[in-house]
Amino acid sequence: EAQVTQNPRYLITVTGKKLTVTCSQNMNHEYMSWYRQDPGLGLRQIYYSMNVEVTDKGDVPEGYKVSRKEKRNFPLILESPSPNQTSLYFCASSLASGTGHNEQFFGPGTRLTVL
């Protein structure tokens, strides 16, 4: 089954404790991205990757890191989480940008609470 998976689905942590949220897709998509969703602010893109070893900042990259060492995986790293990073996070993937055929597929979401 074609899908985007994220782990963990729920995470409660404390300020300053490094964490990683994993994202994996099995559709051989080049483009992957991370979003956060907050009430009243909608979905905002954190980072995206056009392909392996190519990553770029989205609209709200501060406090986050990503890596793209393999095509299928795109982990989101919070080196020193803070309470303002409490949010619902989504990973998504699609075929490469540059065409109109690149439908985005979303993971189920990770609800992160930073105390």
Q: Shortest gap between Cβ of 18 and other proteins (angstroms)?
A: 25
Q: Smaller CB distance to other proteins: residue 33 or 85?
A: 33
**Which residues sit at the interface with other proteins, rule CB under 8 A?**
31, 33, 35, 40-45, 48, 50, 56, 58-59, 88, 90, 92, 97-109, 111
Which one, 56 or 79, has the nearer CB to other proteins? 56
Smallest distance, other proteins to C-beta of residue 16, A: 27
- Closer CB to other proteins, residue 15 or residue 28? 28
CB of 80 to other proteins, least distance (A): 25
Least gap, CB of 84 to other proteins (angstroms): 19
Burial 33-67 (b: 16+ CB within 10 A, else e): bbbbeeeeeeeebbbbbbeeeebeebebbeebebe
Residue 29: count of CB within 10 angstroms of its CB: 22
Strand order across the beta sheet in which 65-66 lies? 4-7, 19-25, 76-78, 65-66
